[in-house]
Chains A and B, each alone.
Chain A
Amino acid sequence: MSLVEKTAAQLQEMIHTKETTIAEMTEKAFDRIEALEPEVDAFLALNKERATQLAAEMDRVPFAERGPLFGLPIGVKDNIVTEGLVTTASSRILEGFNPVYNATVVEKLKAAGMVTVGKLNMDEFAMGSSNENSYYKKTKNPWNLETVPGGSSGGSAAAVASGQVPFSLGSDTGGSIRQPAAFCGVVGMKPTYGRVSRFGLIAYASSLDQIGPITRTVKDNALLLNSISGYDDKDSTSANVEVPDFTAALTGDITGLRIGVPKEYFAEGVGEAAKEAVLEALKVLEERGAICEEISLPHSKYALATYYLLASSEASSNLSRFDGIRYGYRTEKAGSLLEFYMNTRSEGFGDEVKRRIMLGTYALSSGYYDAYYKKAQKVRTLIKKDFDDAFEKYDVIIGPTTPTPAFKIGEIIDDPLTMYANDILTIPVNLAGVPAISIPCGFNNGLPLGLQIIGKYFDEETVYRVADVFEQATDFHKKTPQTWEGAAQ
């Protein structure tokens, strides 16, 4: 019985025809995780005992009461709190933190009957583009273990790409779902800001963060978004809008659909391989009846600077709650209360987190507030307007997800600006708050490339429809990495 190549529908069919049980499926998932973890290092914590027990109970639930994801295993990014399962956001400062409640999305996974098998590695507090900033371990890209899986949801993408789990949740502040999905050759969706509750997501930059699904197929992704979306009165920024059935949008018909292709997403710094793969993808979509036209998002080049000022400012505020008093790591070297705070935070946070806290504190400090923070908020308006204008004429905007495929571990870790440039094509989407997906669209030297499809506010349906048409027309999503072969099925 192999679960690794199956979709949600196929897995349900296997359970229904008694080819397998939820208990057996869960056991196989753990077998595969245990076989692959020494190579991939995607998980920070496993939930084996409780998941095994839960799976056995779930086998007794009548078929009529089960939804499409019932009994299926899922991994959750470690910045999403899970009751009774250690949650650290990959930071030393939350070492051993055992949440006493669930994030809303976790409650929703439970309600859908999904089995949380464990917590996935990430860049500390979701700050990073390579997964090298975790305090605990470095996750490897299943396609080439010497390269990074991307960040910050690198564990979530690598676990799906290596077949350890068919589904995972990530979070995306500047591209943290889409960039690792592109690097690992899987499907990653950042929904519209406000579509999915952020209650229980350990905050990095609250005006940009959004939880989203990572899967191997577009349809599975739509199914998972169905189950985690919706208004939540525990999140004051949650959008009170209707949640459609996203799978119903997968009609296969994109005749007459208008695609804007921003010239800025093909500018200097974006590699040839990424450009060519996307141009080929556009041909595929044109053959299916879409109309592609070059457009301009003139403020794209300002997005990176805008993002780092705003995200760092919000982070400096959000991360002020980590003081060692109420939870997590605390220093042994304490004199006064002030020293206690300062030592705890210095020992607890890693370098990238400190860098961003300091940048944010600087940008918000009285002498620089107008020059940096307020300026960036104004440029954000211009970036958002670029999208508003484009979406008056176009149904979706398409470009590469990342400028290059995955890079080598250690290659650019000491060069923050080059590292930040990885997110240059994904960041504008977070600043505007619109939805976007990354799906596999090619390979370069054996490493996957991602196609980014950006949609209008709350129009994930059209994004999924286009993604599904491309997936149906191509085989990229069927290819599997080297780690896949020979591992326990």
Chain B
Amino acid sequence: MAKMTKEEVIEVAHLARLAITDEEAEHFADQLEAITNAMELLNELDTENVEPTTHVLQMVNVLREDKSTPGLDRELVLKNVKEHEGGQVKVPTILE
């Protein structure tokens, strides 16, 4: 495993939509490097012919009839929204 750099952490943080300071990036770089190094243990195992498990139970697609059912009332949905107008959620300006 290559050393995790501060720049890599800043890039990952950006992808994850987290703003971090230079100081935090250094701190996280050290910790994430230690953690990913510990994860290297998995490379001891030959998994060439092993199928990945994403789900432990034998699952089948869950289908239902294409029938509309009432959802949550709009007023309820907006109850936790800090800014809304005319029944719609307000977001900061996207286009100048």
Using a CB–CB cutoff of 8 Å, the interface residues on chain A facing chain B are 97-98, 100-101, 193-194, 207, 233, 236-237, 239, 299, 301-302, 304-306, 308-309, 316, 320, 323, 325-328, 330, 334-343, 345-346, 349, 354-355, 357-359, 361-362, 365, 372, 374-382, 384, 416-417, 431-433, 457
Contact = CB atoms under 8 A, between A and B. Distances in A.
A247 B32 CA distance: 45
Given A308-B39, A358-B16, A378-B51, 18 more contacts: A98-B80, A100-B76, A100-B80, A207-B55, A236-B62, A302-B41, A304-B38, A320-B16, A326-B80, A328-B80, A335-B92, A337-B92, A343-B19, A358-B18, A359-B36, A362-B36, A379-B45, A380-B53
B61 to A, nearest CB: 9
A355 B41 contact: no
12 contacts: A239-B57, A302-B42, A306-B42, A325-B91, A340-B92, A343-B19, A355-B28, A355-B35, A361-B12, A377-B54, A378-B51, A431-B56
B34 to A, nearest CB: 6
Interface string B30-49: 01101110111111110100
Nearest to A430: B56
Interface residues of B, number: 49
Given A302-B42, A374-B52, A358 B12 contact: yes
A380 B52 contact: yes
Interface in B45-96: 45, 47, 50-57, 59, 62, 64, 72, 76-77, 79-82, 89, 91-94
Contact of A316 (B16, B42, B55): B16
A376 B93 CA distance: 41
Interface string B1-38: 00000001100111111111000000010011011101
Nearest to A304: B38
A301 B41 CA distance: 9
A355 B32 contact: yes
A339 B50 CA distance: 42
If over half of A's interface residues share one DSSP class (helix, strand or loop), that class is named, otherwise mixed; here it is: helix
Contacts of B54: 207, 377
B38 A101 contact: no
| Closest A-B pairs by Cβ, 10 of them | A433-B56, A377-B52, A327-B80, A378-B47, A342-B19, A361-B16, A378-B50, A346-B19, A100-B76, A381-B53
Nearest to A380: B53
Nearest to B56: A433
B56 A342 contact: no
Contact of A361 (B15, B77, B92, B94): B15
A69 B8 CA distance: 53
A308 B52 contact: no
A78 B17 CA distance: 25
B23 to A, nearest CB: 13
A427 to B, nearest CB: 13
A141 B83 CA distance: 41
B35 A308 contact: yes
Identify the interface centre among A316, A357, A374: most chain B CB within 10 Å of its CB. A357
B34 A417 contact: yes
Given A98-B79, A330-B82, A433-B57, A416 B35 contact: yes
A320 B80 contact: no
